Amino acid sequence: AGPATRERPAYHFCPITHEVMVDPVVAADGLSYERSAISEWLSKSNTSPMHGSELSCSTLHANQVLKQQIAEWVD
């Protein structure tokens, strides 16, 4: 039997696109999203795509730690 393959952690995936994030950002709901996906969402809505609750602001913060973890991932 060969070595076990590891599954990529779920937090590497954007909850909107379901793809591995390239430019992860944190929104006001405390969750990380792909910048382009959440920016498009926020252009149409002021609610959390995951919770449906109103967001206190539309400011996005780069998630450098997550970006580094994704970059360092080895399948």
pLDDT digits over 17-37, tens only? 999 999 999 999 999 999 999
Strand order from edge to edge, sheet including 32-34: 32-34, 24-26, 61-62
- Whole-number Å distance between alpha carbons of 30 and 33: 10
Closest CA to 38 of 8, 10, 73, 30: 30
| Single pTM value for the model | 0.88
Q: pLDDT at position 5, please?
A: 61
Strand partners, 47: 54
Q: pLDDT at position 41, please?
A: 97
